[in-house]
Amino acid sequence: MKILVINAGSSSLKYQLIDMANESVLAKGLVERIGIEGSNLVHKYGKEKYEVVKPLQNHVEAIELVLEALTDKQHGVISSMDEISAVGHRVVHGGEKFAGSVIITDEVMEALRENSNLAPLHNPANIMGIEACKKVMPNTPMVGVFDTAFHQTMPPKAFLYGLPLDYYKRLKIRKYGFHGTSHRYVSQRAIEMLGKPAEQTKIVTCHLGNGSSITAVDGGKSVDTTMGLTPLDGVLMGTRSGSIDPAIIEFIMKSEGKTIDEVMKVLNKESGLIGLSEKSSDMRDVRMTANQGDEKCETTLEVWAYGIRKYIGAFAAAMGGLDAIVFTAGIGENDWEARARVVKGLEFLGVKLDAEANKNVKDEGIVSTADSKVKIMVISTNEELAIARDTLALTSK
C-alpha cells in the first residue's frame, strides 16, 4: 500500500509518498508560490532531485504537477496514480469535533469549514488541498489528521480559560493545543522505550522547532499543553512571543498608535528569538552568536530555556510525577546545548543529564544517566509517518 501525505498551506504544498510495506519514503517534495509568479516544484527521490518551474494558478494545478512528478517516466517512483491507495491530509484545527483521524466525507468537509474561523490562517488552505486532491483523484479515499486531536483528552480544568463561560459556550474559546500528531508519535515511542504499560507513564514531550509546544502526557493521553486557542500561546518560539500579559496588547496599541492587526503581527512574526536577540529567528544563528560572546543572544537563550524548564516543572506537578522528558523537532533533536540548558536545575526532580550521551545522540536515544529517576529522551518526530499510519488504519478497514 502506498500512501500520499499532503500538508497544504495557502501558497505551498508539501508531500510524501510512503510505502507502508516497510514505511519507507519513496519520494517527497514541496510546491511553492502557488497562485504567485514563479511557482515551482522540488521533488526528491532517493538521492535524486528534480525541479520544475511552471505557472500554477491554484492547488488543483499543484496536485496535478505532484502526480506528474510521482509518475514521471524518468523521475517518478510509481507507474500510475492508481498505485496510490489513499491520501492523508494534515489539518491544523479539528476543533472539539475531532478527537482522532477520520475518513473525509461531505459532513467532515462541512465541519472543517465550520472550524475555519478558529484557524483562519491554516484551515482554509488545508481545505483547498483536500478539495484539489478530491478533484484530481476522485476515487481515492482521503483521511484527515488533525493537529488538535491528540489534545482532546484534556480535562476542562486544563482547557478552560478564566473568561466569561459564555465565550466558551458561544464562540468555543478554549485551549485546543497543536503539534498533536508529533506529541502523540513521540510519546508513544517514549512509552515503548520506558517499557512500562502506558497507563503507568507520565511524560513531558517538548516539541521545539520554529513553532514550539510542550505537552503533559499522562497514561498515554494529553492532559495539558502549552499552545492554546491558537499556536501563539505557550513558550517563546522563533518569531512568536508565546504567553504574555494580555494587557500588553492594549498598551502597545495605545503607546505606538498601532492597530490590532499590527500588534498581532508583532506577536506572531517579530517576537520570540528574533525579537529578543535582534539577530535571527533561527536557533543556529542565535546559538552561534551567543557562543561568540553576544550578550543579547545569550539572554535570549536563557529566556527561551527558562520558559521551557518552568513548564516541565508545572506539568510534573500537574501529573503528580514524571518518568520522562522527551525532546523532539528541529531544536529538540539537534541542539545538545539547548537540551542541556533546559534541564539545568531540574536535578531536584530526579533529572540527571548524561553530558556525553547528550552530545553524541543521533536520531534517538536516552541521554540521562543510568541512575536518573527521570529519563531524558531524544526522539525524532515523524508527523508524515504518523499521518500515513492513521490513513492506512482507517482505509484498510
The binding site for ligand ADP (CB under 6 A) comprises 209-211, 238, 282-284, 287, 329-331, 334-335
Nearest approach in angstroms of CB 378 to ligand ADP is 12
Kindly list the strands in the beta sheet with 84-91, ordered across the sheet, starting from the edge strand earlier in the chain. 48-53, 40-45, 24-32, 13-19, 2-8, 84-91, 142-146, 102-103
> Which residue type sits at 225?
T
Closer CB to ligand ADP, 322 or 329, in the complex: 329
Nearest approach in angstroms of CB 46 to ligand ADP is 22
- The CA dihedral of 376, 225, 382, 269, to the nearest 10 degrees, is -110
- Closest residue to ligand ADP, based on beta-carbon distance: 330
CA atoms within 13 A on the CB side of 252: 16
Nearest approach in angstroms of CB 90 to ligand ADP is 12
Nearest approach in angstroms of CB 185 to ligand ADP is 13
261 an active-site residue? no
Separation between Cα atoms, residue 186 and residue 201, nearest integer Å = 13
Nearest approach in angstroms of CB 371 to ligand ADP is 28
Closer CB to ligand ADP, 68 or 282, in the complex: 282
What phi-psi label fits residue 90: left (phi over 0), alpha (psi between -120 and 50 degrees) or beta? beta
| Options 147, 224, 233, 390, the catalytic residue | 147
Contact 193/377 with Cβ under 8 angstroms? Answer: yes
Closer CB to ligand ADP, 97 or 287, in the complex: 287
Closer CB to ligand ADP, 101 or 181, in the complex: 181
Q: How far apart are the first and last CA of the chain?
A: 13
Sign of CA dihedral 279, 285, 289, 295: positive
Nearest approach in angstroms of CB 332 to ligand ADP is 8
Residues in the chain: 397
Closer CB to ligand ADP, 78 or 214, in the complex: 214
Judged by DSSP in three states, 355 sits in helix
Contact 237/330 with Cβ under 8 angstroms? Answer: no
Closer CB to ligand ADP, 97 or 151, in the complex: 151
What is 38-97 written as a DSSP string? T-EEEEEETTEEEEEE----SHHHHHHHHHHHHH-TTT-SSS-GGGEEEEEEEES--TTT
- Segment holding 337, helix H or strand E: helix 336-343
Nearest approach in angstroms of CB 77 to ligand ADP is 24
DSSP state of 232: T
Closer CB to ligand ADP, 94 or 330, in the complex: 330
Separation between Cα atoms, residue 352 and residue 355, nearest integer Å = 9
Biggest CA pair distance of the chain: 62
Catalytic machinery residues: 147
